[in-house]
Amino acid sequence: MFWSRSVRRRPSAAVVLALLALVATVVSVLAPLLLRAVEQTTLDDALDGAGVTGTSIAASAEIPYQQLSEAQGAVVATTSSASNARRWLPGVVVAESAAPVSFTVPGASPTQTSTVQLAGLSNDCRELGLRSGVCPSGPDQVLAATGSGLSTGTALRVSVMSVPENTLTVRVVGTYDTGTRVGRIVGGVGKAFGSGGDADPDLVMSLGGFDTLLLEGNVWSVRTLRPGLQLDDVPAVVQDVADVRDATLSADGAESAVSVQQRIDVLVDRVADGNDAATVTVAVAALQAIVLAWFAQGVVAGRIGQARAAEWGLARLRGLPARRRLVAVLLEPVIATVAGAAVGAVVGVAAAALCTPLLLGGGAPAVEPFRAPVLAALGASLVGSLTALVVASSRASRLPLVDLLRRVTEPRTLSRTGAVVQAVAVIAAVVGIAAVVTQPRISGPGVALLAPTLVAILLGVVALRVGVAVVRRRAARPARSLTELLVLRRIARTPSVLTTAVMVVLGVALAVSSAQTAVLAVRLADDRAAATLGAASVLDVQVDEGTSFVQAVRDVDPGGRSAMAVERTTDGAGVGRLIAVDTTRLAAVSAWDPAWGGRDVATLERLLRPSTGTAFRVTGDQLSVTLAEVGAPDGTVAQDVTTASPDDVDLVAVVQAAGGWHRVDFGGVRAGTLTSPAGSVPCDDGCRLVWLGLQSHSSEATPYGLGATITDIAVDGTTVGRSWLDPERWRNRIGENSLPSGGPSATLGEQRTGMRVSWVDPSGQGTPAIQPRDAPEPLPAVVGRATALQPFAGVDGAVIGLGLNGESLVLRVVGKAPALPRVLDDGALVDLSTAGRVSDPVGTSADHEVWVAPGAQHRVTTALASHGITVTGHRTLANAERTAEHNPRVRGALVGLPLAGAALVLTLLVVAGVGAIGTRARREDVAVLRTAGFGPRALRRAVLLETFLPAAVAAVVGAVAGTAATLLTAARLPLRAAAVPPMGITVGPVTVLVVTAVTVLVTLVVAVVIARAVTRTPPTGGDS
């Protein structure tokens, strides 16, 4: 056939079209396949991370007296809607006693008891993971959890802690594994789906035995999602959950008051949010790549038409029918395109199978090539490719005969249609870019706002028109070199050659933008992990009693470069989320970037560790305070409160030793020397006085006041000196009395004999006190910018927060930060040492951690044990980053990497294809110039620059366009769930330089090959 002869005679056109169709099809197939894999992986990860409680639906009902079977039937009927074996695992039916049971631990003292609950299992007990023994069969046989210390054969006398109390004897006939699915459910069904908690696992008996004991409690029917649930099954799961909820309104469900607990809705919503964000990101990149592929095919088809316009015109002169002419024009490119698309479909599936584990890890799901979205994308790609061929070939097939006779197959001026198209493209690009800039966040409808393509079109078209004008202006002057003669005048006479340059602009812009988006998504995920965790390694620790946590960590790392003590209370909200760090080591140890806090670490340290007065040091085991003139408080406040009786209030001091704060009670307030009991001051190794005040022990909360003059303070009988009787060295303590008005207070004054103090407590229940000025109060804190604050009246910048001991404490906001370590933008950051002087650093409310710098975990962990600190767990930043990068938003952005590669391949194929197709025409020009006496070296250089310069300049313009698009859209793309920490610089220069350099380098290689092919002696026949 004629088309096969044409392909054999000049294969370059067919090969280029086939390769372009192949790449276009690969893009159209790759995007939906990878997106589906991302979505399925997100679901798999969510199911794995949610555990049994997050993937189960549980129906429960109270057990009426002697009606266990009725309640059981009601809950089983309720969950019957969730019984499809494709989606749900077999149900678990278990009853659990309302009252706990206690028993003496075998081999322990009679006073050491264990408290658990009794459970009755309806299922075969082998589903529990029976580790030893046999299944229980009666009310006196139970299974114990593995690791509970109860071995098979142990007899237990258990007391059911109900009213009246019931005592029975049971025998352990086996042990079960609480790590299995059924074991986790049966071992604490009420805790898992009801009250919560972490008590010991239940003792398990048969449901019949449980019924025989007539215990009060609840019966549960639990259904769990099957592992490996497919995305297509999620709508059915949602409907199953809704049906189960509706079943509680049935006659049986209502009669038994069945209730349903489940968190599957939350899991599905979370997965849907992440997958929607990934879909937007992938759709933006894929749609642009496919449009780019169509444009590339149109450019190449247009160049083929210009090269073959003469033979197509000859067919018209010979009077061939329109159908024959149409076949002559389109059959060869259509066959090449269809063949390329067929191969591309196979290559696309193979590429998806290869990319899926690379992007998603070894557990990535298999690709699904025959799903409707994949087939639809494949069909759309083929139709678009064929349409591009028809549109691009139509002009050359209808070229006027006069132009053919003049051998002018390329337009020298822009047609009216072309001018309108370019004007509309520029206007649309400007409008689209404006819409992108003004849209806070790109979501579903925002997919149409394709910033990289819009910016590239704007810059490409503008650069094209400016370039043509400049070249024509320069071409009007006499040429000074062969290069100028060939390049400038050729472009001036046939500006359509710059269409390829516009294609390069689009391709490079898309490649840069997609690569930048992927790199940015990974960096944002890693930044979030670093800000949330705080350091390269975080050790969860327990501090031995009497050990100073901060000092012990400093002793472990004297240089201050490897370890940092941290306490946190992050279970609350607002300033209740407190992170206390050793700010002297924050810069060296933490992975948190100070730029996220809006200030450098040195400034942060000055704010959180302000200069203070001298501490009142106590070294000894007894403290004495001498008082005089004890009576009513000074000032007008004495008229509003009752003078306290010495029998109702005690003088109290608090001292801070290595093991925390210690209370020292001096007894009733009276004139004379008040001395603490011998040994009540644990300060043999030194400690500091935290505060000195009054404590009421009256049975009535009556407002009171009391004044006294402190004439002396002594430690072990030795006076501390009159300098400590100076009121300037003391102040009123706010402490935990964070009432905005009317709270306990103390006023200071100076008298000849000592320091006058007036303590007043309008609440009658507080501790009015004075404290040395060695600790700042309110406690300085930097808060996240989204933190909800409750101001504390009367003190500028003060808010009500929490101390390290979990009690109320007044904080002074010294700054706000976009993101703080661990608490991010919702919480407060304080200095640990400073906070330990204002609130008791030892308590059960704060968790203790040691943050470790990279490479020091083993050394620090080993050293901590010898300093009274036990490591109970650890987390690493590498694991946190790996988890963060599994977010579907990040994975969706990573799909853009193969699409960016496809865009570059398309761009380079067009450059090479256009050069190869135009080789014959260039050879004729070179032959004329060679005849005119120009040397081969000058000709080769001129042809090389003619091909290379427009493409190289276009690559730079494309890099600028891609960078601009990234700057415009980065903050608006759904790359992360929350805008914390700050995004920072969105463009990585290395990515831009690599993409640009690769494009320019390959373009140079292509230009060299084309130059050599054009300037060598041509073979017989054509090549276009």
Task: Give the count of domains, the chain.
Answer: 4
Q: Looking at the chain, how many residues does it have?
A: 1024
Q: What are phi and psi of 302, to 5 degrees?
A: -65, -40
Is the CB of residue 810 less than 8 Å from the CB of residue 777?
A: yes
Q: Is residue 904 part of a domain?
A: yes
Residue that terminates a domain, selected from 189, 224, 259: 224
Q: What is the Cβ-side half-sphere exposure of residue 223, based on CA atoms within 13 angstroms?
A: 23
Beta bridge partners of 92: 222
Residues 973, 1003: one domain? yes
**What is the chain's Cα-based Rg?**
40
Q: What secondary structure does DSSP assign to 860-890, as a single string?
A: HHHHHHTTTEEEEEEEEHHHHHHHHHTSHHH
- Judge if 214 and 300 occupy the same domain: no
Q: How confident is the model at residue 863 (pLDDT cuts 50, 70, 90)?
A: very high
919-942 mean pLDDT = 75
pLDDT value at residue 421: 56
Mean pLDDT throughout 612-640? 87
Claim to verify: residue 513 and residue 551 sit in the same structural domain:
no
In a domain, 67, yes or no: yes
Q: Is the pLDDT of residue 24 over 60?
A: yes
Which residues sit opposite 406 in a β-bridge? none
What's the pLDDT score for residue 848? 92
pLDDT of residue 842: 78
Q: Which residue has the higher pLDDT, 840 or 494?
A: 840
Give the C-alpha separation, 55 to 53, whole Å: 6
Domain end call among 823, 840, 867: 867
* Enclosing domain of residue 685: 617-772
Question: Residues 466-482: pLDDT tens digits?
Answer: 766 666 666 566 666 66
557-566, 601-610, 678-687, 724-733: least confident range: 678-687
Residue 666 shares a structural domain with residue 608: no
More confident residue, 837 or 451: 837
Which residue has better confidence, 281 or 467? 281
Report the pLDDT value the prediction gives residue 570, as an integer from 0 to 100. Answer: 67
Buried b (16+ CB within 10 A) or exposed e, 876-898: bbeebbeebbbbbbbbbbbbbbb
Per-residue confidence (pLDDT) for residue 113, from 0 to 100? 82
Residue 540 pLDDT exceeds 90: yes
Q: Is the pTM of this model over 0.75?
A: yes
**765 with 829, same domain?**
no
- 316 shares its domain with 361: yes
Which helix (H) or strand (E) covers residue 175, if one does? strand 166-176
pLDDT score recorded for residue 351? 92
Structural domain contains residue 283: yes
Q: Is residue 255 part of a domain?
A: no
Name the more confident of 206 and 2.
Answer: 206
Residue 253: inside a domain: no
Residue whose C-alpha is closest to residue 446's, from 432, 459, 429: 432
Say which range, 243-257, 368-382, 606-620, has the weakest mean pLDDT: 243-257
Give yes or no: residues 338 and 481 share one domain.
yes
Whether residue 685 has pLDDT greater than 50:
yes
For the cut 80, the answer to whether the pLDDT of residue 777 exceeds it is yes
> Is 80 exceeded by the pLDDT of residue 442?
no
One-letter amino acid for residue 915 of the chain? G
**The pLDDT of residue 196:** 65
Whether the per-residue pLDDT at 880 is higher than 70: the answer is yes
- Give the pLDDT band (50/70/90) at residue 1023: very low
Q: What is the pLDDT of residue 447?
A: 44
Among 799, 834, 867, the domain boundary falls at 867
Our measurement of the distance from residue 183's CA atom to the centroid of its chain's CA atoms, rounded to an integer in Å, reads 32
Through-space distance between the first and last CA atoms of the chain, rounded to whole angstroms: 18
Measured from the Cβ of residue 254, the count of other Cβ atoms closer than 10 Å reads 12
Per the structure block, which two tokens stand in for 413? 């001026």
For residue 1001, what pLDDT is reported? 92
Find how far residue 553's CA is from the centre of its chain.
Answer: 30
Residue 243 has what pLDDT? 93
Give how far Cα 717 sits from Cα of 622, 657, 663, 670, Å: 8, 20, 19, 19
The per-residue pLDDT for range 965-1012, each reduced to its tens digit, is 888 878 878 888 888 899 888 888 888 999 999 999 998 998 888 888
Residues 407, 295 within the same domain: yes
Task: Give the residue with greater pLDDT, 574 vs 552.
Answer: 552
Q: In this predicted model, what pLDDT tens digit does every residue of 630-669 receive, in sequence order?
A: 988 887 766 778 888 888 899 999 999 887 889 999 999 9
Asked if residue 959 has pLDDT above 60, the reply is yes
Residues 643 and 752 in one domain: yes
Confidence class for position 75, pLDDT limits 50, 70, 90: very high
Q: Is pLDDT above 70 for 496?
A: no
What does residue 96 show for φ and ψ, rounded to 5 degrees?
-140, 135
Q: Are 851 and 589 in contact (CB under 8 A)?
A: yes
In a domain, 662, yes or no: yes
pLDDT in the model for residue 55 = 93
Segment of 58-67, 319-328, 411-420 carrying the highest mean pLDDT: 58-67
For helices 896-917 and 936-969, the axis angle rounded to 10 degrees is 150
538, part of any domain: no
H-run or E-run covering 565? strand 563-569
Share of the chain above pLDDT 70, in %: 83
**Residue 317: pLDDT above 60?**
no
Give the pLDDT confidence score for residue 41 in this predicted structure. Answer: 92
> Given pLDDT bands bounded at 50, 70 and 90, which one contains residue 430?
low
Lowest model confidence (mean pLDDT) among 198-207, 298-307, 737-746: 737-746
Pair (303, 379) in one structural domain? yes
Output the pLDDT for position 934.
72
- Per-residue pLDDT of 888-900, as tens digits, reads 999 999 998 898 8
Q: How confident is the model at residue 385 (pLDDT cuts 50, 70, 90)?
A: confident
569 and 694 share one domain? no
Q: What is the pLDDT of residue 846?
A: 83
**pLDDT tens digit sequence for 826-840:** 999 999 999 989 988
Mean pLDDT of 25-51: 91
Is 876 among the domain residues?
no
Residues 940, 912 share a domain? yes
At 117, is the secondary structure helix, strand, or coil? Answer: coil
